[in-house]
Amino acid sequence: MRPSLAQLEAFFWTVELGSAQRAARHLNIAQPTISLRLKELSDFLGIALLERAGRGVRATPEGRALLPRIATVMAELRGIVGHDPMKQIVGPIRVGLAEGFAVTCLPPLLAALLNDHPGLQPEWAVSTSTTLEAQLLRDALDVAVLLNPIGDERLTLAALGAQPTAWAAPSAWGLRGPLAPQDLWSLPIISNPPPSAMHRQITGWFAAAGLTPSRLSVCSSVAVIAELVAEGIGMSLLPERMVARQIADGSIQLVPTVPPVDDGRLFVAVRSGNEDVKIQAVTAIIRKIVLQIGYLRGR
């Protein structure tokens, strides 16, 4: 008996992505299958390959010693199956991601790019959509995933779909819906600063009822806002998938409202007329990943 390619692949991607769950999603197989392959490889070699690291895992010293050899095997495998011309795309590309989208989608997106286009050298920018839109316009980015973009004739927008969005509140508040703007306007609310998509959506939701939130704070990071909500500081309008962990651990609850919140609309944006093959490759991977992980509403 000897280690199988599937076992080596399971170990490589688990270390690369930091968890068996992400490795399973990347390889499009069930997590128990990944766990079984990791155990079989560890038992065969007679060493512990992985250890806990926060909420994920990392290679043990023994595992790290093996990793360069396994990485060589993975590279050779890519070479064997690399007859697809798209796999020969190489060079840097500057990719912007709206932060709420990036928190969930960047790990599988990066893994897919490493696998399908190992010659690409992505440079990631994670920020609010309005910041990314401005960077695209001044040629500081090549392509970006934007949420509810303002729009400019110099940009070409291709719709991805609806990002599930909801009011998120500290579970400790014990809110029971459905709630109206009149029920929430006086509560502490945290938003990205104007003119961000989040700020426009929050203020627009209240404005439709003739109200302005009276205790509105701003923070530039969507991920930090989620942590502030989990700590009981305030509530916010957040992507549902981004706060799945906090919902599961009971620190955040989604609050149904009347009227309901509109889902955010995601677009892939490029400067008009830019038909770089690297942009086409990244766009195709983005579309594949959001379908693969079921990120969009109705997908």
From the candidate CATH numbers 2.40.30.200, 3.40.47.10, 3.30.70.270, 3.40.190.10, the one assigned to the domain spanning 90-162+271-292:
3.40.190.10
Q: Answer positive or negative: Cα dihedral of 227, 233, 235, 236.
A: negative
Average pLDDT over residues 61-85: 73
For residue 87, pLDDT over 70 is answered with no
- Architecture category of domain 5-80 in CATH: Orthogonal Bundle (1.10)
Task: Give tens-digit pLDDT for 143-199.
Answer: 999 999 998 899 999 999 999 999 999 999 999 989 999 999 999 999 999 999 999
5-80 and 90-162+271-292, same CATH topology? no
CATH 3.40.50.150 fits 165-262, yes or no: no
Question: Residue ranges per domain, the chain?
Answer: 5-80, 90-162+271-292, 165-262
For residue 78, pLDDT over 70 is answered with no
Q: Which pair of tokens denotes residue 49?
A: 């390959």
- Of 64-68, 132-136, 283-287, where does mean pLDDT reach its minimum? 64-68
